[in-house]
């Protein structure tokens, strides 16, 4: 099952509701496992919140860099089209212009899929992983095409366009910016993946993960107060996957 970003926050909210319910009992909640006390569970939830905040910050950073790269890509398409027009305006540059046209056509033809603001969560399908990898690779190829185009322009005797935005120096500046964004997004992707894996483990891996603590607290309440108690009825009503079940039922009904 693919676990969405929203689902992680929802589980955090459910766990907080469980902690608040235990805090409100007339008789103090006293689980046999000390890690499940209200105080210790509150500390654990602070770690969960911090991890979610970390992932959210990395998602935002990745999204900002991705948007900047997309905007620069669009700008470069216009710049290369203009530079090609300048090359083709001089019949003496016909051979170089023909080479440049081939490069521009490759640049135009390479259309990376829009980058996601977040790396898909743990449990993503191989198809999603493949699509994201292809998108990143496509941008690397675009940088290569741009570098080839600049090389052609640099070799043209007298290449000195009146438009300062398409000079070799200006194009080189954009190339460097493009490479920097590619590198930054590659790093951001890795950092985000590490943080997401760490969060997944915090929620679902091992005896001390959030899901195990969540279920452990409910069992402890049942053991302390009894199956028919008001306390157990309260925590029993707080479901781990309730939002997913409700959403699925809604889709089936509609």
Element at 251 (helix H, strand E): helix 242-253
- The H helix count followed by the E strand count for the chain is 8, 0
Q: pLDDT-based confidence at 35, cuts 50/70/90? A: very high
Residue written as token pair 């603001």: 117
Please tell me the least confidently modeled range out of 55-59, 81-85, 116-120: 116-120
Residue 234 pLDDT more than 80? yes
Question: What is the pTM for the complete model shown?
Answer: 0.78
Nearest CA to 40 among 51, 29, 54, 27? 29
> Contact, 149 vs 107, CB < 8 A?
yes
Output the pLDDT for position 137. Answer: 80
Output the pLDDT for position 45. Answer: 98
Indicate the length of the chain as a whole number: 254
For the chain, what is the domain count? Answer: 1
Output the pLDDT for position 241. Answer: 79
Higher-confidence residue of 161 and 111: namely 161
Residue spans of beta strands (DSSP E) within 75-201: none
Residue written as token pair 């970003």: 5
Output the pLDDT for position 249. Answer: 37
Residue 162 φ/ψ, nearest 5 degrees: -60, -35
Tens digit of each residue's pLDDT (9 = 90 or more) over 138-186: 899 999 999 999 999 999 999 999 999 999 999 999 999 999 999 999 9
Please tell me the least confidently modeled range out of 47-61, 98-112, 192-206: 98-112
> Contact, 83 vs 75, CB < 8 A?
no
Joined tokens for residue 187: 């790093």
| Residue numbers of the domain that contains 93 | 5-253
**Distant-in-sequence, close-in-space partners of 21: CB < 8 Å, separation ≥ 6:** 234, 235, 238
């Amino acid at each position: 099952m693919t676990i969405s970003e929203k689902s992680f926050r929802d589980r955090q909210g459910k766990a907080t509701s469980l902690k608040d319910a235990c805090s409100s009992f007339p008789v103090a909640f006293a689980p046999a496992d000390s890690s499940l006390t209200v105080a210790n569970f509150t500390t654990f939830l602070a770690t969960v919140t911090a991890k979610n905040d970390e992932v959210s910050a990395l998602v935002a950073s990745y999204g900002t860099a991705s948007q900047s790269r997309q905007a620069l890509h669009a700008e470069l398409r216009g710049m290369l089209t203009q530079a090609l027009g300048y090359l083709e305006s001089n019949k003496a540059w016909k051979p170089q212009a023909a080479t440049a046209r081939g490069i521009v056509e490759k640049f135009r033809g390479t259309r990376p899929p829009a980058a996601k603001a977040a790396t898909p969560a743990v449990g993503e399908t191989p198809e999603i992983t493949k699509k994201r990898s292809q998108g990143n690779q496509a941008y690397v190829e675009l940088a290569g095409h741009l570098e080839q185009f600049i090389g052609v322009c640099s070799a043209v005797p007298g290449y000195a366009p009146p438009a300062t935005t398409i000079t070799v120096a200006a194009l080189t500046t954009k190339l460097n910016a493009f490479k920097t964004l590619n590198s930054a997004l590659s790093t951001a992707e890795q950092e985000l993946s590490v943080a997401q894996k760490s969060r997944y483990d915090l929620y679902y891996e091992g005896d001390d993960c959030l899901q195990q603590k969540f279920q452990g607290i409910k069992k402890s309440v049942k053991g302390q107060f009894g199956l028919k108690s008001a306390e157990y009825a309260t925590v029993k009503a707080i479901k781990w996957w309730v939002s997913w079940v409700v959403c699925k039922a809604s889709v089936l009904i509609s």
